[in-house]
Amino acid sequence: LLVAAGLFAPTFIDEGLTLVEIAGQEANAFPSGVKSVANLKETRLEATAPLQTVLRNLNRVDRHPPLYYILLWIWTHVAGTGLYRARLLSVAIFFASVYVFGQWSRSLFTTMLFAFSPLLILFGTLARDYVLAVFFIVVTVYLLDSAGDKNPWSTTAAASTGAAAVWSHYLAVFPIAVLVLWKLAEQPRSRKLRAAGALFFALITPVLFTASSQAASATPTIYKGATTLYEILRSFLRAPVNAFQLFPGPLDLAVSALFLILFVTVLVRFRNEPPRVLVSIVILTVQLVALMALSAASHQSLSTPRYLGLVAPFYCVLIGEAVTRARKLKRIAAVTAISLIAGSSVLEAAKLVYIRFLQKQAFGGDPAHIFVAAGSGMTKWAMPETLVSDLPEQSNFLLLKSAQDVRTARSLIERQTTFFCPTPEDDHIDGYDGFQCLFPSHRVRLFREFDCSSLTPDKSGEER
């Protein structure tokens, strides 16, 4: 049910990039004759371009590793095109990830933490590359754990799947590198492991070279001043909340403190337990430090929930080990942890369904006489609450920066807003294709030739 709710959730803006890339369109390409969303879908978002065109435009638009897009390109020839068919591929990968994670952890409770993680469910219902990276990370750690005399091929397979994880997402390199180096440190004289390690680093060299050449544009934002000790400690405290998207707001640090207690419990009580515990701690630490180092080096910030989500399986291991091995209050702790994570998933699914309903109500009615313009900061998804509430009831001009805000959507319902005007400074992939995906209605009209801020609330302005 949670996956179904996510599958039919409102379009995430980055999914517009995926569809445009698979259709083979360049960032600013605007086919002649396209004036509505319905026509747009027929000409851009419902098409499949030759693979070489997809890869060429991927390097121009999204600048992500190509493996997911190659797989999606093949999938479109089997299952068809469109957003929901693309999401079905992610759903299949997500369920495969849950199965492999269960085989590795051999713990029903830990597997439930993984399966009900809101962020992993989000990954599993997005037409993006995150879930594929998580899948290959989980497969790699499973193969390395099962490596031995009974499975002589598993080390070579692990090197290949580890490289596939990096070819799915650049930031998967940190957990995979930790896993490979950890295994080599355990058995430094093993020729098979050394050969597997060499194979892994040889396979990822091309993609790392590509990533380094795109470093300035391949690092999105979140942290500022990430080099201070305060930011490092604060980021560590918030990391579990960001990875699971639990309780945003004032309660998140309190919940993070609970997770921190669990981590300390693992370190103190179970330091001599299975290596997966210490490996998980090292991976989480390396990923967090690497994200902050990249943020400081690029003078930008990294989207912590998204990129810490790549190592969410290891959070599940730590929480599962701490809870299942605690002698006292074991049942209460288990029920509490499952309730927090599963409850957060249910709330997230309910929110997605509600926003979908609001979008349908807002943009499925008759056109009104209200123009909606995208502000220059729309990609920041920041919208003051007073921006809508302070407008006069009969206002026919609205500066819109976030169409996903529930309060904004409710206000748009009252005004039956159906027009959208991107301003010239936002005339790029996010401003055009992304917002077209956010407004799935043929009634949306597109104006690109003038600055919408100059519009006046009169008939002449509307006719323009």
DSSP type of residue 434: I
Dihedral sign, Cα of residue 206, residue 45, residue 353, residue 404: positive
Whole domain around residue 175: which residue ranges?
2-350
342 shares a domain with 382: no
Looking at 289, 320, 350, the residue that finishes a domain is 350
89 shares a domain with 41: yes
**pLDDT tens digits along 299-311:** 555 545 677 778 8
**pLDDT tens digits along 378-426:** 222 222 232 333 333 333 333 333 334 334 444 443 443 333 333 333 3
Q: Is 360 contained in some domain?
A: no
334 shares a domain with 193: yes
∠ at Cα 262 (260, 265), nearest 5°? 110
Centroid of chain to Cα 181: 27
CA distance 243 to 251: 15
Beta bridge mates, 283: none
Q: What is the pLDDT of residue 328?
A: 55
128 closest CA partner among 244, 24, 14, 2: 14
Q: Is 358 contained in some domain?
A: no
Q: Is 362 contained in some domain?
A: no
372 shares a domain with 344: no
List b or e across 126-140, with b for residues whose CB sees 16 or more CB atoms inside 10 angstroms. bbbbbbbbbbbbbbb
Query: Which residue has 């100059």 as its token pair?
Result: 454
415 shares a domain with 390: yes
184 shares a domain with 59: yes
Looking at 350, 376, 400, the residue that finishes a domain is 350
382 shares a domain with 319: no
384 shares a domain with 343: no
Per run of 10 residues, the mean pLDDT along the chain (length 464 residues) is: 76 69 53 35 53 74 83 89 86 96 88 82 87 95 76 85 94 91 83 87 86 54 42 52 47 55 61 68 78 65 66 82 64 66 64 56 36 29 30 33 40 39 36 36 34 42 40
Q: Is 387 contained in some domain?
A: yes
Q: Is 361 contained in some domain?
A: no
Q: Is 195 contained in some domain?
A: yes
CA distance 208 to 173: 9
Q: Is 56 exposed, middle or buried (CB count within 10 Å of its CB: 0-12, 13-18, 19+)?
A: middle
323 shares a domain with 446: no
Q: What is the pLDDT of residue 333?
A: 64
Q: Is 323 contained in some domain?
A: yes
CA distance 63 to 17: 11
Quick check: 227 and 292 in contact, CB under 8 A? yes
289 closest CA partner among 163, 206, 171, 120: 171
> How many domains is the chain built from?
2
Q: What is the pLDDT of residue 11?
A: 63
326 shares a domain with 239: yes
Q: Whole-prediction pTM value?
A: 0.67
Residue 429's H or E segment, with its range, is helix 429-429
440 shares a domain with 398: yes
Q: Is 65 contained in some domain?
A: yes
Looking at 350, 384, 407, the residue that finishes a domain is 350
410 shares a domain with 346: no
